[in-house]
Amino acid sequence: MYLNKSVKEINELLKKKKIKPIDLVEEAFQNIENNKELNAYITLNKEDAIKRAKELEDKEVDNILFGIPIAVKDNIITKGLRTTCASHILDNFIPIYNATVVEKLIEKNMIIIGKTNMDEFAMGSSSRTSYFGAPHNPWNKNKISGGSSGGSATTIAARDVLFALGSDTGGSIRQPASYTGIVGMKPTYGRISRFGLVAFASSLDQIGPMTTNVYNNALLLNAIVGKDEKDLTSVKKEEDFTRLIGKDITGLKIAVPNYFMSDIVNDEIISKVKDTIKVLEENGAIVDYVDVKYLENAVTLYQIIAMSEASSNLARFDGIRYGYSYENPENIEDVYLKTRALGFGEEVKRRIMVGSYLLSGENAKIYYNKALSIREDMRKALKEVFNNYDLIIGPTTTTTAYNLDDPMDDPRKTFMDDVLVIPVNMAGLPGLNLPIGFDKNNMPIGMQIIGNSFEEAKIYQLASYLEKKLNLNLDPNGGENNE
């Protein structure tokens, strides 16, 4: 057992040749096998991972992530490794190119262990829209892991591996991280290249790290950021995200939007967040409750913007060049209609239809353009908070993880799950989920820490401070807490 050790320890062992990357890879696959019923993966990269691990044996251990297994969400393109987006329409799709983040993982000599389960095309908040069935929450197998990065959250929470990549369009990293008791970061929009991330809502999508602890999270972020000439929306801002970890929080000014603590949030969660605020205040941070305008509009804006963009982004899946194609079409119309009718699941089709309607004729002006302009107001309102405060905090979710068999018949409910995480995407800000405790059913509760643009390091500073103070045991199997 090595994957329960800290990354630094593993790195030492690798350097001293006491272990080899293959040991880590075999252990990861054993863990995944033991936790098979969690359904965290869509495709395992067994053969290739073993081959890569063996190749690394002759290489110098050149960085702290060397030889360490990582799980990748299945909407991130991996060359030669099936990438399905949890959809029937791509269930035979083997890409001939890599996402830029994947290239970066390979550069760091990390080993991709497999592709994790998710909501189909990242559309959902429980991973139950997956064509491959939903993942199960390691804390309670009858509960959801959240979504859309449910598979990545599951495999991290279950301690199969130490690192995973997720993607976050409207909370899809932070919400499942909260439901499963792990650390998940959605970085500033533009921090990480989106090249090779299958687009859901281009102006909101962002890849981010999901890990068992704060330090690992910052390490993985270090490895994947940077300007990419293949993504015009990416920006050059490279730095060491671990640099403020371990620093004191005295004098740090923190804002809590009143809306985040209103009656939309479950009482147990509110009280846990209040406990945490107390810890912060006792340790020298200044915490104020503030009003932030437009937050209550975030879900509506999100629905309009995300579904409109999605309707266009998903138009390319037409059965002509790749992916599933209807077998016996009568004409081109038939290729489109039947491929898409049979290839996409219900939630995806609903969003494409709503999005198409929202952009149709004059609607684009009434809805999409209007939403973009209110979004800008909301962004300004949030940015204004940072004139006076270092960070914004609040609960990540309104409830803890609910049952897998809860009804899915109310499409609006799934968006309400994300009401607290969506504003961050709308404003392009960085936001992180930190586990802060458990409810009476022993399901994890998470706190969201939001920073100003490009101030991820400050988020990690607060998160790591709290992580240490709270010293929670976050292993669902009761194993040792790793630091």
Partner 1 sequence: MSNYIPTIGVEVHVELKTKTKIFSNSTNGYGKMANSLTNVIDLGYPGTLPTLNEEVINLGIKAATILNCRIRKVMHFDRKNYFYPDISKNYQITQNETPIGYDGYVEITKSSGEKKKIYIEEMHIEEDTCKSAHRGTKTLLDFNRAGVPLIEIVTKPCLSDGEDVKLYLEKLKELLSYGNISDCKIEEGSMRADVNVSLRKEETDPLGVKAEIKNIGSISNAKLGVEKEIERQTKLYDKKETFKPQTRRFDDKIGDTVLMRIKETGNDYRYFPEPDIPFVVLTDEMIEEAVKTIPMLPDERREKYLNIGVSDINTNKLIQNRSLSDYFNELLEEKINHQIASNLLLGDISAYLNKEEKDIKETTLTKERFIELVNLVDNNTLTSKNLKEIINHILEETKSIKEIMEDNNIENITDDTEIRKVIKKIIEENEESVKDYKEGHDRAIKFLMGQVMKETKGKINPKMAMDTLKEELE
| Active-site hit among 73, 104, 272, 458 | 73
Toward partner 1, which CB reaches closer, 93 or 326?
93
Toward partner 1, which CB reaches closer, 361 or 478?
361
Spatial contact of 343 and 321, defined as CB atoms under 8 Å apart: no
148 catalytic, yes or no? yes
What minimum distance in Å lies between the beta carbon of 37 and partner 1?
A: 30
| Active-site hit among 148, 178, 325, 453 | 148
172 catalytic, yes or no? yes
Toward partner 1, which CB reaches closer, 160 or 228?
228
| Active-site hit among 145, 172, 234, 325 | 172
As a whole number of angstroms, the distance between CA 179 and CA 479 comes to 19
Tell which residue, 96, 85, 98, 81, has the closest CA to residue 316. Answer: 85
Toward partner 1, which CB reaches closer, 235 or 459?
235
What minimum distance in Å lies between the beta carbon of 204 and partner 1?
A: 9
What minimum distance in Å lies between the beta carbon of 362 and partner 1?
A: 10
- Interface residue list for partner 1 (CB under 8 A): 75-77, 83, 85, 90, 93, 95-97, 99, 194-199, 201-203, 229-233, 308-309, 311-312, 315-318, 320-322, 332, 336, 356, 359-361, 364, 368-369, 372
Toward partner 1, which CB reaches closer, 154 or 425?
425
Spatial contact of 101 and 192, defined as CB atoms under 8 Å apart: yes
What minimum distance in Å lies between the beta carbon of 321 and partner 1?
A: 6
Spatial contact of 393 and 254, defined as CB atoms under 8 Å apart: yes
What minimum distance in Å lies between the beta carbon of 420 and partner 1?
A: 24
73 catalytic, yes or no? yes
Query: Residues with catalytic annotation?
Result: 73, 148, 172
